[in-house]
């Protein structure tokens, strides 16, 4: 078969990564010195990388991370935050996902909880783990909209299909009785089949007061806390610190 015929066959088969590598090799003397097995290995690696990149991009789009650029390498362990590198490194190994455990990030406004949750979620995506991230107020609003137009079953399937559900800003605003029930339903659905990343300003001991329904509060905490890795973030607002640094740098 000719070079052009090979290209057409690879294109028909959908082997885009292999095709790109094959075309590149035709004009590269280094490739032409390779054995058949070496050349085949190069093209197969290119195809594998292409498929992994497609999956990564698909998972990133679906996750809708607040900070898609956040990653473990950029986590700030500045003194006073209370972040222990070994603890965060252990979380980023993602064994908790396989065990259907959860991660709690507790701290005051501005301490970097959402960035950290996005970094952990990004690490999940790097390893091919599906994630969906929501701010809790918008999550509950979406549930209400779906309930109104009849699409709640479909939304439930989409959310529950994700291996990790990231809920940001839990406890930041009051929650209705229906909202608490909806939150319990989605947490219950993944209690043995998925994981949750939670960020909250509220210490866990204040969740009962926030939820307002003792039975629902007990049920939610029972499914989250008893198998959770809890990280308490301390210190001043990271936004204020960065603004201060920026002001100093312009002096």
Task: For residues 81-110, give the mean pLDDT.
Answer: 93
Task: For residues 108-137, give the mean pLDDT.
Answer: 95
Q: Tell me the C-alpha distance between 186 and 132, whole Å.
A: 12
What does pLDDT average to over the chain? Answer: 88
- Among left, alpha and beta (phi > 0; psi -120 to 50; other), residue 14 is left
Phi, psi for residue 33 in degrees, rounded to 5: -85, -10
Q: Is the pLDDT of residue 194 over 90?
A: yes
Q: Tell me the C-alpha distance between 164 and 63, whole Å.
A: 9
The confidence score (pLDDT) of residue 19 equals: 80
The confidence score (pLDDT) of residue 240 equals: 55
- Structure confidence by residue, pLDDT tens digits, 137-148: 999 999 999 999
Residue 99: both structure tokens together = 């065990």
The confidence score (pLDDT) of residue 174 equals: 92
- What does pTM read for this prediction? 0.84
The confidence score (pLDDT) of residue 245 equals: 37
Tokens 């998925």 found at? 194
Task: For residues 153-172, give the mean pLDDT.
Answer: 95
The confidence score (pLDDT) of residue 239 equals: 54
* Short-list 221, 232, 207, CA closest to 113: 232
The confidence score (pLDDT) of residue 21 equals: 82
- Structure confidence by residue, pLDDT tens digits, 66-80: 999 999 999 998 888
Q: Is the pLDDT of residue 13 over 90?
A: no
Phi, psi for residue 199 in degrees, rounded to 5: -120, 140
The confidence score (pLDDT) of residue 249 equals: 41
Task: For residues 163-182, give the mean pLDDT.
Answer: 94
């Amino acid at each position: 078969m000719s070079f052009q015929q090979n290209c057409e066959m690879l294109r028909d088969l959908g082997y885009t990564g292999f095709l790109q590598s094959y075309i590149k090799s035709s004009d590269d003397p280094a490739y032409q010195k390779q054995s058949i097995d070496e050349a085949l290995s190069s093209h197969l690696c290119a195809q594998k990388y292409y498929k992994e990149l497609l999956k990564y991009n698909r998972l990133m789009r679906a996750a809708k991370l607040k900070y898609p650029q956040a990653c473990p390498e950029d986590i700030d362990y500045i003194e006073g935050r209370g972040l222990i590198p070994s603890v965060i490194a252990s979380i980023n190994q993602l064994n908790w996902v396989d065990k259907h455990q959860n991660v709690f990030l507790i701290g005051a406004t501005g301490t970097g909880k959402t960035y950290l949750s996005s970094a952990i979620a990004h690490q999940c995506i790097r390893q091919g783990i599906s994630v969906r991230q929501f701010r809790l107020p918008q999550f509950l609003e979406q549930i209400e909209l779906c309930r109104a137009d009849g699409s709640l079953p479909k939304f439930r399937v989409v959310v529950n299909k994700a291996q990790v559900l990231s809920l940001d800003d839990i406890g930041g605003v009051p929650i209705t009785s229906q909202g608490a029930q909806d939150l319990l339903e989605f947490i219950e659905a993944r209690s043995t089949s998925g994981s949750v990343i939670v960020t909250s300003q509220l210490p866990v001991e204040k969740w009962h007061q926030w939820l307002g329904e003792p039975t629902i509060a007990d049920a939610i905490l029972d499914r989250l806390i008893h198998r959770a890795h809890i990280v308490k973030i301390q210190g001043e607002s990271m936004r204020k610190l960065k603004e201060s640094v920026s002001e100093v740098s312009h002096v």
